[in-house]
Amino acid sequence: MPGGFGSARDQSSCPCGGRSYGLCCGPLHRGQRRADTAEQLMRSRYSAFARREVDYLIATHPQPGLSESERRLALGQACRQTRWLGLTVLAVSGGGPRDLEGTVQFEARYRGGVLKETSLFARKGDCLTGPWLYVRSLE
């Protein structure tokens, strides 16, 4: 039976800790929606690492110095080598619908350890209508 308007085909839990993947990060990964906030982008990127959504990771983090093939190879390898276990957002500063930039501090648990990071996010084109992008770690 085909899915109708608003249907969520993937009812598995979302890696970011939100609702079902089909209602949480899935629509962002499929390009059906854009992240409204820096935190939402960070959560969707975490889920993309957990679900090996390399295209989404590339689209949400510009790296002008590397070719797409180099990035794709490195991200694919990183996704295969790491088993992500959970995400905790520790702090958010800015990054709302009316902001041009923001930071998100988080802990991402993986088999073998914990990644703790404060990430900087900014709107593409320094414009409120631009999509959120991951810029860099502030550590």
Give mean pLDDT, residues 62-79: 93
CATH of the domain at 85: 3.10.450.50
Q: Does residue 6 form part of some domain?
A: no
Give mean pLDDT, residues 22-26: 96
Cα–Cα distance for residue pair 26/9, rounded to 1 Å: 10
Q: Does residue 130 form part of some domain?
A: yes
What single DSSP character describes residue 90? E
Give mean pLDDT, residues 28-46: 98
Q: Does residue 68 form part of some domain?
A: yes
Q: Does residue 11 form part of some domain?
A: no
Please count the structural domains in the chain. 1
Q: Does residue 18 form part of some domain?
A: no
Q: Does residue 70 form part of some domain?
A: yes
Q: What angle do CA 13, 32, 108 make, to 5 degrees?
A: 40
β-bridge pairing 84-94 and 113-123: unpaired
Q: Does residue 15 form part of some domain?
A: no
Tens-digit pLDDT profile for residues 97-121 = 999 999 999 999 999 999 999 999 9
Residue 64 structural domain: 26-137
What is the strand order of the sheet 84-94 is part of?
84-94, 101-110, 113-123, 132-137
Tens-digit pLDDT profile for residues 81-91 = 999 999 999 99
